[in-house]
Structure 1
């Protein structure tokens, strides 16, 4: 394998160490190998006094990262026993937690598409930069899955019910809304990124920010807060959909129709996961919960069907099972949160196992 074919590249320039996700034809989707290599590099750089800053970017023109390698998860869920996917998520979620606690500035350039697993390797960083090209989303409900990589933790912290809206609909947001929702810290023009990266080799991060940060483009969610907060505060997905239709506005109606196209099971589990995340507190405890949910999803039909419809056959016509919200019982939802015994992720430590709010 030549250097240009490596799925993730590493180099240092001056005081900065660089991670480049290097699968542009797959929109830099994360594989298990990439996760392990990034973790190893972070270990080396953490103990290297010459490295003062870590920077993560994506190869190609389209974006940082479109998510995890969901095709591999699909194949494992359909044809395997789920072991490979569980091992991938275990290492990926450990990496997400590590990024959040990394002792050196971790600068994520969230230019272009940043979705799913791409959010996990960027939005937990200490310095998160979006551009006018950024399209940030957690679109998992559309493939019969649930936001993971700490996504439910981040969205639970968003103002009002904005995080609930984004988690359930999978809506893509731009720079202004990413800043509003707490998924990013600064906006930089995409044309300035090359100069910014050059400066990080020579200057401390605060000086680089002072030189390059600009006001963000206007977002859309602030003007929608009133109906989003009112509708998504409901106790069930069915009631959320009812309130969205009853609101009467075209944007609320569009959100309701979007929800009705998603996996009913994934919607109900996602709502429960975000609500529980608000009570769990730490990222580590939420990642422990997400691992339970992700592993449970491997044995449900909707994950395989959702990936088939969206990414493999691309007919965009998933046949969800159960097909309607009313058919998804509380018991169906609860089983996603059942502790895994000796297979727990265990990021929060053994003493937290009984503290999960049921």
Structure 2
């Protein structure tokens, strides 16, 4: 392993037959910084041409999180400065996600603990996606005036039933069974066996991965989606947020009432943008199409007040009382195509 655990924000090295990428900011829930993205991208380039590396193990340091997403304090700071560094971070992050999604060797993501936003982007596109009893998965962006990005509108639009639309428009947190049910993870390993499983992965080569996983995988306890799949399908099959809200208002189940209250607490602008990105994502021919469209929408958020207000309320002041602008879906009106249009002078991500 290169570097020591107090210095490098990503630890890399070859263990057995595996190339390791360990996100190493446990106190910050392994939130991604520009340096972390660059180190991970460099490691993947190196591992791709190393014949000693059979497969990649992608993991988070500590026992709390795989990765809680991008470092939003950094992004908000750079967005306010209008320095172009936030946009550059997203370009590099999306390129990293594209690399992982199209990697020449198997990638095993150990999705233990908290997985949110950019962390989900690192994990949900790879070849082998492992969750545990500790998994807490969310795409919470509509709650901070942002949008589900990192290729989420490609994956969530194709999730089982309407579970992806539920995750995107509520921002709610779900567990291992739900992530598998939605099609965003493949296998569940009991948390207490994760270390043992990891050791078996290191000793295996690519041809043995499936048998190793089969040896350790177990069915998780049923989750939210198994219980409420029919209700979610009935409500979230609608393409627009207003139609979803209307459908929820006519349902008497406590689950529907909670879901309605949650959606109405989110940024109206973010809800409209997210709903449109999901609609477009459902028929997008490639992940790259969605990444580029999400990038345009992300850059537009830097000039919209809700992103800064949402981060203030959730992360900085932590009063959990954002003042959205516009304040309600009725005031927001219809989706504005300008909200996902390219920003003049800002280059698109380049995937290679």
TM norm structure 1 = 0.93
**C-alpha distance in 1 between matches for 2:297 and 2:119:** 19
Q: Quick check: 1:293 aligned with 2:294?
A: no
Match in the other structure for 1:355: none
Q: What root-mean-square deviation, in Å, do the aligned CA atoms of Structure 1 and Structure 2 show?
A: 1.6
**C-alpha distance in 2 between matches for 1:14 and 1:193:** 17
Match in the other structure for 1:132: 133
Given that 1:127 and 1:185 are in contact with CA atoms closer than 8 Å, whether structure 2 keeps it comes out as yes
Given that 1:68 and 1:116 are in contact with CA atoms closer than 8 Å, whether structure 2 keeps it comes out as yes
Given that 2:91 and 2:349 are in contact with CA atoms closer than 8 Å, whether structure 1 keeps it comes out as no
Given that 1:292 and 1:344 are in contact with CA atoms closer than 8 Å, whether structure 2 keeps it comes out as no
**C-alpha distance in 2 between matches for 1:286 and 1:174:** 25
Displacement after TM superposition at 1:281 (Å): 2.3
Match in the other structure for 2:90: 89
Q: Quick check: 1:337 aligned with 2:340?
A: yes
**C-alpha distance in 2 between matches for 1:247 and 1:261:** 18
Displacement after TM superposition at 1:150 (Å): 0.7
Match in the other structure for 2:73: 71
**C-alpha distance in 2 between matches for 1:145 and 1:2:** 34
Match in the other structure for 1:205: 209
**C-alpha distance in 2 between matches for 1:71 and 1:87:** 15
Alignment of 1:243-322 (within 5 A): 243-322=247-326
Match of 1:326 among 321, 330, 335: 330
**Secondary structure in structure 2 of the residue aligned to 1:289:** helix
1:125-150 residue CA offsets vs partner (Å, 9 max, x unmatched)? 10000011111110000000000011
Larger mean CA deviation between 333-342 and 130-139 belongs to 333-342
Match in the other structure for 2:224: 220
**C-alpha distance in 2 between matches for 1:338 and 1:178:** 31
Displacement after TM superposition at 1:305 (Å): 0.4
Displacement after TM superposition at 1:205 (Å): 1.2
Larger mean CA deviation between 207-216 and 273-282 belongs to 207-216
**C-alpha distance in 2 between matches for 1:189 and 1:228:** 28
Count of aligned pairs: 347
**Secondary structure in structure 2 of the residue aligned to 1:54:** strand
**Secondary structure in structure 1 of the residue aligned to 2:53:** coil
Displacement after TM superposition at 1:212 (Å): 1.1
1:80-104 residue CA offsets vs partner (Å, 9 max, x unmatched)? 1151110000000011111010011
1:244-287 residue CA offsets vs partner (Å, 9 max, x unmatched)? 12111000110000011110100110011111101112111110
TM norm structure 2 = 0.95
Runs of 4+ in 1 over 2 A off after TM superposition: 1-5, 233-236, 339-349
1:19-73 residue CA offsets vs partner (Å, 9 max, x unmatched)? 1111111000000110011000000000000000100111111110111000111
**C-alpha distance in 2 between matches for 1:333 and 1:238:** 14
Displacement after TM superposition at 1:13 (Å): 1.0
Match in the other structure for 1:29: 31
Displacement after TM superposition at 1:340 (Å): 4.2
Match in the other structure for 1:56: 58
**C-alpha distance in 1 between matches for 2:336 and 2:320:** 25
Given that 1:63 and 1:113 are in contact with CA atoms closer than 8 Å, whether structure 2 keeps it comes out as yes
> Structure 1: which 5+ runs fail to align?
350-358
Displacement after TM superposition at 1:171 (Å): 1.1
The verdict on how the C-alpha distance between 1:63 and 1:104 changes in structure 2, with shifts beyond 3 A counting, is same
Given that 1:227 and 1:247 are in contact with CA atoms closer than 8 Å, whether structure 2 keeps it comes out as no
> Structure 2: which 5+ runs fail to align?
none
**Secondary structure in structure 2 of the residue aligned to 1:247:** coil
Displacement after TM superposition at 1:151 (Å): 1.0
Displacement after TM superposition at 1:186 (Å): 0.6
